[in-house]
Amino acid sequence: MSVSIDTGKYEIVCVEGVCVRSERSVFSEVVARLGAGVVVKIVKALGDDAFITRPEKGWITVNENALIKRRRKEKEFHGSTPKGSLVKCPFCGTTNLVSIPNDQIHHVQKFAITCFNCEQNFRSTRVPPALDSGSRSSSPATSGVRIVRRKKRTRRTLFCFEFSVALELCKVVSSEIGFEIEANESNLHQTSLVFGIQKSVLPRVLDCAAKNRNMRVARIPGIEHPCNKVVLAMLMNSIKALCQNALFEFWPETHTMPGDENLLASILVGRDLYICKPAKRGKGQGIFMTSHFSQLALKKNSKTTQHVVQKYVDDIILEGDKKFDLRLYVMIKCIEPLEIYLCHEGLVRFCTQPYQKPSPGSLGPLTAHLTNYGINKNSKSYVRSDLPSGGNGSKRSLSSFLHSKTLEQHGVDPESLQESLEDLATKTCICIAPTLQLAALNHPETSDQCFHIIGLDVLLDSDGNPMLVEINASPSFNIEFTDKVDLNTFSEMGSLCNCAECDYLHVHRVCPVDREVKTKMLTGACNIALGDADSRFWKRLSVEAHESIHSTWQHLWHIYRKHVFTPDLFVNTDVTKVLNRTLSLVVKMLDQKFIHVNVWEQCERYFAKPRCFINPYVDNYLIYIETLTTIVPPLVHEQSLNFISSFIFYTSMLKE
């Protein structure tokens, strides 16, 4: 028989290796299995520092910290409590736990020992290290015993900041994936996944991620910039011009202010209806409809009034007489190379008032035209459902809607629609990827640890074709809603809340459809972030299916980084410098083709006033990309794609 003793940090294992462990409450099982002799000697040698656990495994655990503490105390007071050592019997091979006096433990001499198994007497000088603070060596011990350093066990935790509305969802998801939930920021550096990250705390999170390479951060630095309405419009218009509008039909005609005033003045002459939306405001604030440029002229007085002016999509599919949109969840796991996923589950959000086509100057009630939850939730017509699918409520799951009668009545095939949504999500991510790659230059050591979930808001036109309305950089992970209470009839006084979310006393309740949809979404996203492709809830989208546009767009980004970008362009918007470095390449290419056109004058006039006021490195990249895709090609009488192809080929021939 042999014995193994676990010391917490070290593990002493006999070569023969029959190990026994059990709890004090079932001490008799240990005695029956090991024999009374060995148990008595172990307990006598280790005293209260021996904890007996799990009889089925047969182990005796040593509380090493308590043991070391007691040994130090004994040493200070010159105690003589014997220490435990393991000695192998030369007759039967049994490992014996013996007590050796403190004053003799470090001396090489023979000790008289009686084997508890065969009861033979023998003397041994082969005394392995004692089970105390002195036994720190990881080298092999004497014959029959080896010391193995145990691996440190780390907790797998999911962290969410306490101020985030995602905390309740993270608690549900952590139990789904077998993680512990953590909200104490002092333990941030030890966590595996981090959610609920606002821009203000992102630097601290990235610092922790740099020290913990196993951490996954649920926010990509700079994601808020391409999701800005104005930046997205400029990027989409540029890539749409590059493709001659052939691959981006899902993006409605969109213009920006300031910048496109002259073009808008020629378009808005009282015929077509356009919707004007402020770039930095949400929940329907500042939105209005117009078909006359005179109304827009009032909005261009300051930098704070950046707007997008988008052609209104009024010929759409309705559910009964209600307008709705689709909220898609897209995960960007990696930006270089681009790796993206689309969640099978999403939300369908309905307006609470009947839809009527708006007239110029009169949008009508916002709850008839805007599907935002923040606008409709306070309407008396808002319908809440207790079903996880959403039932006939004002918010439903995407999976239940795809197989509803609404699509069938309009002749829309769910599988074809799903393919169109995948196509839309892939191209949108291809479009915004360079700005994220540019932001990653500021955080090269942690860029591969960051991922992000964005929300795409999509309308369906009368033919069932998806139309992208906007991107949400921080889609809501909230699974609760506020319910106003009547104090005269309310009995759950302990759950009353007066937080800033409402201006009246309320209670927070879980929304079944939000919990169902967002739990599936976030559970799958966590698994993907940790390296396990979750095919139940997410599908990886094929960037290779759009390789031609992706490679062209990426070539332009690499040219910008190599020939145009300089570190100072991260902190300063410099129109002159970007134009000089970009057009110098263009002019040299045109000279080789014997094309002599004054491109400088037109570009300088176009950018006489900055068109965007978001962030210097974003502004500079937009100047570069608009110059190549929108301004120069018409000047040289070439299609944008042909011009860009020549430009890429020319720059590839330049020496480093």
Q: Which residue has the higher pLDDT, 89 or 307?
A: 307
What is the pLDDT at residue 229?
Answer: 92
Q: What is the pLDDT of residues 160-185, one digit of tens each?
A: 998 888 999 999 999 989 899 999 88
Most confidently modeled of 86-90, 125-129, 308-312, 481-485?
308-312
Report residue 362's pLDDT band, with 50, 70 and 90 as the boundaries: low
The SS3 of residue 322 is strand
Answer whether residue 78 shows pLDDT above 50: no
Task: Work out the average pLDDT over 6-21.
Answer: 34
Question: Lowest-confidence range among 9-23, 371-385, 394-408, 584-598?
Answer: 9-23
User: Percent of the chain having pLDDT more than 70?
Assistant: 74
Answer whether residue 540 shows pLDDT above 60: yes
Answer whether residue 41 shows pLDDT above 70: no
What is the pLDDT at residue 154?
Answer: 58
Answer whether residue 142 shows pLDDT above 70: no
CA distance 118 to 467: 86
What is the pLDDT at residue 53?
Answer: 47
What is the pLDDT at residue 80?
Answer: 42
Q: How many residues does the chain have?
A: 656
What is the pLDDT at residue 283?
Answer: 67
What is the pLDDT at residue 12?
Answer: 34
CA distance 125 to 605: 94
Instruction: For residue 90, give the DSSP letter.
Output: T
Answer whether residue 377 shows pLDDT above 90: no
Q: Which residue has the higher pLDDT, 63 or 558?
A: 558
630: left (phi > 0), else alpha (psi -120 to 50), else beta?
A: alpha
Report residue 226's pLDDT band, with 50, 70 and 90 as the boundaries: very high
Q: What is the pLDDT of residues 270-294, one digit of tens each?
A: 888 888 888 877 766 778 888 888 8
Nearest to 83 by CA among 71, 72, 95: 71
Cis status of the peptide bond prior to 258, with omega within 30 of 0: yes
Joined together, the tokens standing for residue 399 give 């999976």
The SS3 of residue 623 is helix
Q: Which residue has the higher pLDDT, 516 or 109?
A: 516
User: Percent of the chain having pLDDT more than 90?
Assistant: 43
CATH of segment(s) 253-312 = 3.30.1490.20
Rg over alpha carbons for the chain, rounded to the nearest Å, is 35
Report residue 300's pLDDT band, with 50, 70 and 90 as the boundaries: low
Dihedral sign, Cα of residue 394, residue 399, residue 400, residue 402: positive
Beta strand pairing status for 506-510 and 538-540? unpaired
217: left (phi > 0), else alpha (psi -120 to 50), else beta?
A: beta
Task: Work out the average pLDDT over 208-236.
Answer: 93
The SS3 of residue 330 is strand
Tell me which of 3.30.470.20, 3.40.50.300, 3.30.465.10, 1.10.3720.10 is the CATH number of domain 222-249+316-475+515-542.
3.30.470.20
What is the pLDDT at residue 39?
Answer: 56
What is the pLDDT at residue 7?
Answer: 39
Cβ-based neighbour number of residue 233 at 10 Å: 25
- Burial status of residue 493 (CB atoms within 10 A of its CB: 0-12, 13-18, 19 or more): exposed
What is the pLDDT at residue 134?
Answer: 39
Q: What is the pLDDT of residues 450-475, one digit of tens each?
A: 999 999 999 999 999 999 999 999 99
Mean pLDDT over all residues of the chain? 79
Q: What is the dihedral of CA 386, 388, 390, 392, to 10 degrees?
A: -60
Question: Lowest-confidence range among 347-351, 606-610, 645-649?
Answer: 606-610
CA distance 230 to 234: 6
What is the pLDDT at residue 61?
Answer: 53
CA distance 233 to 226: 9
Specify whether the CB–CB gap between 57 and 18 falls below 8 A.
no
Task: Work out the average pLDDT over 2-30.
Answer: 38
What is the pLDDT at residue 493?
Answer: 53
The SS3 of residue 625 is helix
Answer whether residue 308 shows pLDDT above 70: yes
- ∠69-71-77 over CA atoms, to 5°? 105
What is the pLDDT at residue 606?
Answer: 87
The single-letter code of the amino acid at 272 is: D
Dihedral sign, Cα of residue 96, residue 102, residue 108, residue 114: negative
Task: Work out the average pLDDT over 499-517.
Answer: 82
